[in-house]
């Protein structure tokens, strides 16, 4: 295809680009099985090595927690593709592999698949709740809050909460009940309770093999670190300064997908470990593309590398962003709200 046409489709017509990306949707069974094996086997191996190192010295085990957590994150990304129906050609294979991986990632797969579809459908729409997203107030909404509620929002947006305590709460507690879907029929309860039951069986089996204390010493740090990494990735995929958010009357699914999701340009090892989830603008525009085909898209559409590009170093500054400035149409830190703060309500 002519490069000028590619450029036009990439930057000028998201609808045409979306049509062009449909050519990359077909998953390859052999490649999918390979990706699953090269993720599951190393995860099991590093888990075993972490357990074996406990007797030699717990500090050595803590070092091994890092790669183990990395592979657990990668398993979640495979589960994520299963939820989009993009990992295997068969929907049944996608769903059952996704449910099995949900036991390891502490995520009720069917309920998560539903809420994640809502996230994709409304991402960047300021008039729709982002199901499973990170709450973000506008500058005006924040300034209108009483002092106590401002403090509560500041605590919620603090990095220690967002990327520390928050992920632990989300994966270990909130995912144990269908919060927000208590009266939404049988599916949320079946998904949540079925996952809980499977988790209990796996935990009991592992504790009987290695001991209660040893299991907790090994698995809790892995699960906690993996959950923090996962939430960080989700955060920088949409919470960057020049993201594209809009109200209902101006919001466009394709515009929000392409310009409201980042292109997280990670070093190659981290890109592999996170299953190319950083190519998030392409993923939101064409979510049926398997993660292992996203590099093909960037190769054929090189202009996409520069849209909403965010390097690892640049992403660290995103942790300070906390409010949506509707006049400047960008995310800003709290300092921008303090510059012209109206009288505080008691």
Q: What is the residue-wise DSSP string for 158-223? A: SHHIIIIIHHHIIIIIGGGTTTT-TTS-HHHHHHHHHHHHHHHHHHHHHHHHH-HHHHHHHHHHHH
* pLDDT tens figures, 193-209: 999 999 999 999 999 99
DSSP state of 139: H
Q: What's the pLDDT at 284?
A: 97
Q: What's the pLDDT at 12?
A: 63
Q: What is the mean pLDDT of the chain?
A: 92
Tokens of 222: 């892995």
DSSP state of 345: P
* pLDDT tens figures, 80-90: 999 999 999 99
Q: Could you tell me the pLDDT band of residue 55, with boundaries at 50, 70 and 90?
A: confident
The secondary structure of 273-340 as a DSSP string is HTTTTTBHHHHHH-TTS-GGGHHHHHHH-GGGGGTTEEEHHHHHGGGG--EEETTTTEEE-THHHHTT
6: pLDDT strictly greater than 60: no
Q: Which of 2-11, 24-33, 141-150, 306-315 has the lowest mean pLDDT?
A: 2-11
Tokens of 116: 């994640």
How confident is the model over 225-232, as a mean pLDDT? 97
End-to-end Cα, the chain, rounded Å: 62
* pLDDT tens figures, 241-286: 999 999 999 999 999 999 999 999 999 999 999 999 999 999 999 9
Q: Could you tell me the pLDDT band of residue 129, with boundaries at 50, 70 and 90?
A: confident
Q: What's the pLDDT at 34?
A: 98
How confident is the model over 7-35, as a mean pLDDT? 86
CA distance 341 to 344: 8
Q: Is the pTM of this model over 0.75?
A: yes
CA distance 50 to 169: 24
Q: What's the pLDDT at 199?
A: 98
Residue with tokens 């592979």, as numbered in its chain: 71
> Could you tell me how many helices (H) and strands (E) the chain has, helices first?
18, 5
CA distance 250 to 159: 31
Residue with tokens 């909130």, as numbered in its chain: 174
Instruction: List 323's β-bridge partners, or say none.
Output: 137, 332
DSSP state of 241: T
Buried b (16+ CB within 10 A) or exposed e, 256-278: bbbbbbbbbbbeeeebebbbbbb
How confident is the model over 147-168, as a mean pLDDT? 96
60: pLDDT strictly greater than 90: no
User: 106: phi > 0 → left, psi -120 to 50 → alpha, else beta; which?
Assistant: left
CA distance 270 to 71: 11
How confident is the model over 143-161, as a mean pLDDT? 96
Nearest CA to 229 out of 95, 105, 124 is that of 105
CA distance 191 to 175: 10
* pLDDT tens figures, 158-214: 999 999 999 999 999 999 999 888 888 999 999 999 999 999 999 999 999 999 999
3-state helix, strand, coil in the chain (%, to 5): 70, 5, 25
Largest CA distance in the chain: 63
Percent of the chain with pLDDT over 90: 85
Count CB neighbours of 108 within 10 A.
29
Higher pLDDT, 76 or 3: 76
Q: What's the pLDDT at 336?
A: 86
How confident is the model over 124-139, as a mean pLDDT? 86
How distant is the alpha carbon of residue 27 from its chain centre?
A: 21
Q: What's the pLDDT at 339?
A: 62
Nearest CA to 143 out of 346, 338, 316 is that of 338
How confident is the model over 304-312, as a mean pLDDT? 95
Q: What's the pLDDT at 184?
A: 86
């Amino acid at each position: 295809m002519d490069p000028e046409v590619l450029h036009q489709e990439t930057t000028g017509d998201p609808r045409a680009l979306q049509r062009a990306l449909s050519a990359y949707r077909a998953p390859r069974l052999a490649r999918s099985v390979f990706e699953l094996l090269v993720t599951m086997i190393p995860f099991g191996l590093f888990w075993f090595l972490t357990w074996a190192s406990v007797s030699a010295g717990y500090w050595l085990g803590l070092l091994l927690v890092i790669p183990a957590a990395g592979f657990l994150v990668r398993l979640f990304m495979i589960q994520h593709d299963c939820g989009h129906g993009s990992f295997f050609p068969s929907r049944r294979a996608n769903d059952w592999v996704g449910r099995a991986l949900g036991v390891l990632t502490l995520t009720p797969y069917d309920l998560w698949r539903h809420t994640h579809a809502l996230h994709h459908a409304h991402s960047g729409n300021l008039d729709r709740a982002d199901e499973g997203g990170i709450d973000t107030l506008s500058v005006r909404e924040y300034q209108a809050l009483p002092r106590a509620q401002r403090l509560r929002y500041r605590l919620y947006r603090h990095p220690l909460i967002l990327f520390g305590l928050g992920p632990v709460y989300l994966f270990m507690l909130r995912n144990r009940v269908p919060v927000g879907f208590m009266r939404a029929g049988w599916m949320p309860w079946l998904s949540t309770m079925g996952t809980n039951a499977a988790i209990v069986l796996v935990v009991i089996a592992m504790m009987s093999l290695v001991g209660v204390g040893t299991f907790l010493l090994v698995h809790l740090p892995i699960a906690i670190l993996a959950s923090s990494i996962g939430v960080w990735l989700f955060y920088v995929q949409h919470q960057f300064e020049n993201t594209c958010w809009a109200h209902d009357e101006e919001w466009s699914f394709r515009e929000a997908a392409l310009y409201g999701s980042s292109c997280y340009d990670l070093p190659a090892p981290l890109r592999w470990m996170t299953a190319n989830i950083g190519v998030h603008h392409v993923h939101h525009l064409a979510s049926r593309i398997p993660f292992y085909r996203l590099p093909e898209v960037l190769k054929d559409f090189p202009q996409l590398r520069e849209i909403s590009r965010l390097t690892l170093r640049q992403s660290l500054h995103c942790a300070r962003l906390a409010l949506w400035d509707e006049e400047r149409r960008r995310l800003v830190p709290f300092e921008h709200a303090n510059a012209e703060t109206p009288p505080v309500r008691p």
